[in-house]
Amino acid sequence: MPKLSIVKVKLDREVNCYVVSCATTKEAVVIDPGLPVKKIVEQAGNVTIKYILATHGHPGHVGGKDDLKAITGGETGIHSADAKQFLRSADRYLLDGDELDFGEFKVSVLHTPGHTPGSVCFVVANHAFVGDTILAGGIGRQMPETDLRRQMMSIGTKLLRLPMSTALYPGHGPATSLEREVAQNPIFRGAGVR
Ligand SMILES: [Zn+2]
Ligand SMILES: [Zn+2]
> Which pLDDT score is estimated for 193?
47
pLDDT of residue 188: 86
CA of 1 to the centre of ligand 2 (A): 33
**What distance in Å separates the CA atoms of residue 52 and residue 180, rounded to the nearest whole number?**
29
Task: Give pLDDT, residue 36.
Answer: 98
Number of Cβ atoms within 10 Å of the Cβ of 46: 7
pLDDT of residue 190: 58
Q: Distance from the CA of 153 to the center of ligand 2, in angstroms?
A: 19
Residue 132 Cα, ligand 2 centroid: separation in angstroms? Answer: 5
129 C-alpha vs ligand 1 centroid, how far in Å? 13
Q: How far is the CA of 56 from the centre of ligand 1 (A)?
A: 7
**Model pTM?**
0.96
State the distance from the centre of ligand 2 to the C-alpha of 47, rounded, in angstroms: 26
- Parts of the chain with a pLDDT under 70: 190-194
Count of residues making up the chain: 194
Rg of the chain over CA atoms, in angstroms? 15
Q: Are 115 and 139 in contact (CB under 8 A)?
A: yes
Spacing, Cα 2 to ligand 1 middle (Å): 32
How far apart are the CA of 58 and the centre of ligand 2, in A? 7
Please tell me the distance between residue 140's alpha carbon and the centre of ligand 2 in angstroms. Answer: 6
Q: In this predicted structure, what is the pLDDT of residue 194?
A: 42
Segment 19-35, tens digit of pLDDT: 999 999 999 999 999 99
What CATH number matches the domain at 4-188, 3.60.15.10, 3.40.50.1820, 1.10.150.120, 3.10.560.10?
3.60.15.10
